[in-house]
């Protein structure tokens, strides 16, 4: 009998209350997460529906199929529509402008793309004379005409944004003075400059980073733009983060009302809260941290452990609908750069009343957790309390004290109990089989003037993992508590890899002699076993990176489909409300469900909120990544011509991507920099082969490269591959 291909057990939603039907969004998410076709029976089983509800479910599926939300896939079965015709775009499609070609014409990508491979490229036709040019970031309803595989021509039907797209670049004045200046774009996807007519430069000076908006174009040539904001000079200290903040449109300034509310905040009274001030809770953070939003404590409890995780009570200071709430909701999260933080909340709260400073009374939400000797959670209890941190410690100090069997000035046994509970939680994590990617984080080191002095991997100590395990357990308890009380919740969800990504991952792993179970039997532990097999081998970094790319992106959702990577059925973010709006929402939901105050409850527009904070999280990640790339390019700009050890990290038809062993910097070796040959790209095998020389470049291959160009403006690095050293007797042979 053929095995039905449905969602993995870790992704199955919890049963609904008796008589309740799942929402259309929940059904759509389940169908999208399933590895093949599904029918009414599988959906009913997943949501715990009885025979009386199946007729209504059938009608819902018919309506969703008629609207194209799901696609018919055989007799009474459906699947995600993008798996039926993954490469086909509709005749009319919403696209987002992503850059410009060398002629200045706009390039776009479909706004929602779930097909195989990269999204198709849309070459937008010029706008009618007298209309402003399309600029990066704009959304447009376009009429599409296929040009070939993965390429379309697009013509604007309707511009969907009221504000024009943003242009971020570096201003260059006219030479000689009196003419039009130019804006050099800072986005690598934009290949053309913009023209700044006389009188539209806002007194910008040479080398200044500016924000501009497009103007109506009357003739041909470069598109005109008007400068609307000056952001600082390129090359000045901290200009990189300013540029990335502007490029990704991250809000920086708080309203006067939000700042006034933060300044007016006062200490949290004890009132009806539980008094935890005698409990020696401690905070463990990075050396440069200024906001301490979580504190931990552990003690033996029979054969197991009793833990406390206390979190800053941000909900007490940020009421729903207040100016502070509006600002936090707009930002969605804090954004971290090497030289600054763009906080979600004003500093008076984030570094003040909401920060669990040592020796100071602070309001908190806490969870008391009991685990057995194997790290399995036995019970939990939430409450609202008043705490006083016993110490502010760094990861390094805690690790050093633990290894030296020192107490770091804490009551005897404090650290030993924390590490004992950690070992139990780690055993439970191993038993359930999670995916533990080994991806070293790059740390950019700046001097007092904001110049890059070095780039090094950020160490990952057991003290880091200790806090991670405590936070994961608290997050699980929050999700389970809200589910148990049938209260609305913003879940942190992570779907299993899509079938298309699994096919590509299997092909990649096969080149190293590695295999995976069939798609409908795959568990996170299977992926982790592959990582353990390659640990210590030269290809380990690339396998980890490729495994990461094969994963679905984690997201926030009001519908629970579980967390694949952590192998958890229910998960919600609870532990960082100073820097994540999702956690603040979960705090409010717990306060309302447990009747811990009058400032709880959940917003009505939960689906929209979940989508919004998912988008702000990805915006922040892209900005942080762009900043690191630009800092690396600035660090390497004076090393042009230097040689580096590297590995091939990507193979495309237009060149090879390499990653340097020492710094983790990545760059492109364009096809033009390879030896003169006819190069053939094999997408399946991930190779680039020379037809005449028979030279083959493949993933994970070690190579020596020479830096050809470093562009701090865009963060781009260009390399050339050096021929291997000639071996004895190889005279006259091709490399």
10-residue mean pLDDT series, the chain (735 residues): 37 54 82 78 82 81 74 73 62 88 90 72 90 90 87 92 85 87 89 92 92 85 90 79 89 95 96 95 90 94 95 96 96 93 96 95 97 96 97 94 88 93 95 84 82 82 95 97 94 89 85 82 89 86 85 92 93 96 97 93 85 94 91 89 92 90 89 89 84 88 93 90 65 39
Measure the CA–CA gap between 719 and 725, rounded to whole angstroms: 18
> What pLDDT score does 18 carry?
60
CB 54 within 8 A of CB 44: yes
Angle at 35 between CA 29 and CA 38, to 5 degrees: 70
CATH T-level assignment (fold) for domain 9-83: Arc Repressor Mutant, subunit A (1.10.10)
Beta bridge partners of 689: 680, 696
Would you state the structure tokens that stand for residue 414, as one six-digit string?
A: 């404090």
CB 160 within 8 A of CB 173: no
> What pLDDT score does 724 carry?
72
> What pLDDT score does 602 carry?
79
Query: Which are the contacts of 255, defined by CB distance < 8 A and separation ≥ 6?
Result: 323, 326, 327
Q: Where are the alpha helices (DSSP H) in 520-602?
A: 524-534, 540-550, 581-593
Of 380, 252, 377, 382, give the one whose Cα is nearest residue 315.
382
CA 376: distance to chain centroid? 29
Beta bridge partners of 117: none
Of 555, 552, 568, give the one whose Cα is nearest residue 609.
555
Query: Is the C-alpha dihedral spanning 173, 175, 179, 185 positive or negative?
Result: negative
Residues of the chain within CATH 2.40.50.140 domain(s) are: 640-721
Measure the CA–CA gap between 574 and 500, rounded to whole angstroms: 33
CB 310 within 8 A of CB 421: no
> What pLDDT score does 321 carry?
92
Environment class of 370 (CB within 10 Å of its CB; exposed 0-12, middle 13-18, buried 19+)? middle
CATH class of 640-721: mainly beta
Concatenated DSSP letters for 679-699?
A: EEEETTTTEEEETTT--EEET
CA atoms within 13 A on the CB side of 138: 26
Helix (H, G, I), strand (E, B) or coil at 8: coil
Would you state the structure tokens that stand for residue 383, as one six-digit string?
A: 């409450």
CB 695: neighbour CB atoms within 10 A?
Answer: 18
Which stretch of DSSP H or E encloses residue 400?
A: helix 395-403
Q: Please indicate, yes or no, whether the overall pTM of this predicted structure exceeds 0.95.
A: no
Residues of the chain within CATH 1.10.10 domain(s) are: 9-83
> What pLDDT score does 6 carry?
39
Question: CA-based diameter of the chain, in Å?
Answer: 87
Q: What are phi and psi of 590, to 5 degrees?
A: -65, -40
> What pLDDT score does 56 carry?
83
Query: Is the C-alpha dihedral spanning 670, 671, 673, 674 positive or negative?
Result: positive
Beta bridge partners of 38: 78
Measure the CA–CA gap between 219 and 213, rounded to whole angstroms: 18
> What pLDDT score does 730 carry?
44
> What pLDDT score does 506 carry?
87
CB 408 within 8 A of CB 463: no
């Amino acid at each position: 009998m053929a095995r039905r291909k449905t969602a993995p057990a870790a992704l199955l939603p919890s049963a609904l209350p008796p008589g309740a039907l799942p929402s259309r969004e929940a059904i759509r998410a389940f169908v999208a997460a399933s590895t093949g076709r599904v029918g009414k029976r599988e959906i009913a089983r997943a949501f715990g529906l009885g025979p009386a509800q199946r007729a209504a479910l059938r009608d819902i599926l018919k309506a969703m199929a008629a609207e194209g939300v799901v696609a018919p896939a055989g007799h009474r079965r459906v699947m995600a529509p993008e798996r039926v015709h993954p490469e086909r775009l509709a005749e009319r499609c919403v696209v987002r402008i992503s850059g410009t070609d060398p002629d200045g014409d706009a390039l776009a990508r479909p706004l929602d793309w779930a097909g195989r491979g990269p999204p198709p490229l849309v070459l937008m036709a010029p706008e009618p004379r007298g209309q402003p040019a399309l600029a990066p970031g704009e959304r447009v309803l376009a009429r599409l005409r296929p040009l070939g595989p993965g390429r379309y021509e697009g013509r604007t039907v309707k511009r969907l944004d009221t504000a024009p797209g943003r242009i971020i670049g570096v201003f260059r004045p006219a030479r000689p003075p009196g003419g039009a200046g130019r804006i050099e774009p800072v986005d690598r996807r934009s290949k053309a400059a913009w023209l700044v007519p006389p009188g539209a430069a806002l007194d910008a000076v040479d080398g200044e980073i500016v924000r501009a908006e497009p103007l109506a174009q009357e003739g041909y040539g470069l598109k005109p733009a008007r400068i609307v904001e000056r952001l600082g000079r390129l090359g000045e200290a901290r200009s990189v983060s300013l540029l990335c903040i502007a490029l990704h449109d991250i809000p920086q300034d708080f309203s006067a009302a939000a700042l006034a509310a933060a300044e007016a905040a006062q200490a949290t009274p004890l009132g009806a809260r539980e008094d935890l001030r005698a409990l020696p809770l401690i905070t463990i953070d990075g050396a440069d941290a200024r906001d301490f939003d979580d504190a931990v404590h552990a003690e033996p409890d029979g054969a197991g452990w009793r833990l406390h995780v206390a979190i800053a009570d941000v909900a007490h200071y940020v009421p729903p609908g207040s100016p502070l709430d509006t600002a936090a909701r707009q930002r969605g999260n804090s954004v971290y750069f090497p030289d600054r933080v763009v906080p979600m909340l004003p500093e008076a709260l984030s570094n003040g009343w909401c920060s669990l400073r040592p020796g100071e009374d602070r309001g908190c939400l806490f969870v008391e957790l009991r685990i057995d000797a194997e790290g399995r959670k036995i019970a939990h209890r939430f409450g609202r309390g008043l705490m006083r941190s016993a110490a502010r410690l760094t990861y390094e100090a805690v690790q050093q004290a633990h290894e030296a069997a020192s107490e770091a000035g804490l009551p005897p046994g404090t650290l030993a109990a924390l590490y004992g509970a950690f070992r139990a939680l780690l055993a439970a994590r191993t038993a359930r089989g999670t995916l533990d990617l080994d991806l070293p984080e790059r740390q950019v080191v700046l001097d007092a003037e904001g110049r890059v002095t070095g780039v090094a991997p950020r160490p990952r100590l057991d003290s880091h993992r200790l806090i991670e395990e405590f936070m994961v357990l608290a997050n699980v308890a929050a999700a389970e508590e809200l589910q148990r009380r049938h209260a609305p919740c913003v879940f942190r969800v992570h779907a299993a890899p899509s079938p298309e990504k699994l096919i590509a991952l299997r092909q990649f792993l096969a080149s190293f002699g590695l295999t995976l179970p069939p798609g409908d039997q795959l568990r996170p532990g299977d992926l982790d076993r592959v990582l353990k097999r390659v640990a210590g081998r030269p290809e380990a970094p690339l396998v980890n990176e490729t495994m990461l790319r094969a994963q679905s992106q984690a997201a926030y959702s009001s519908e629970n489909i579980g967390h694949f990577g952590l192998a958890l059925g229910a998960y919600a973010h609870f532990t960082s409300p100073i820097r994540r709006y999702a956690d603040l929402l979960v705090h409010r939901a717990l306060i309302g469900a447990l009747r811990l105050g009058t400032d709880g409850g959940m917003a009505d527009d939960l689906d929209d909120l979940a989508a919004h904070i998912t988008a702000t999280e990805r915006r922040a990640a892209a900005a942080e990544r762009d900043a690191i790339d630009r800092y690396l390019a600035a660090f390497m700009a004076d090393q042009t011509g230097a040689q580096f050890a590297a590995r091939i990290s990507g193979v495309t038809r237009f060149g090879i991507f390499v990653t340097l062993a020492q710094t983790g910097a990545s760059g492109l070796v364009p096809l033009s920099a390879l030896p003169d040959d006819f190069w053939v790209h094999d997408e399946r095998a991930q190779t680039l082969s020379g037809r005449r020389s028979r030279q083959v470049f493949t993933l994970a291959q070690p190579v020596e490269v020479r830096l050809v160009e470093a562009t701090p403006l865009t963060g781009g690095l260009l390399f050339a591959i050096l021929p291997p050293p000639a071996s004895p007797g190889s005279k006259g042979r091709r490399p």
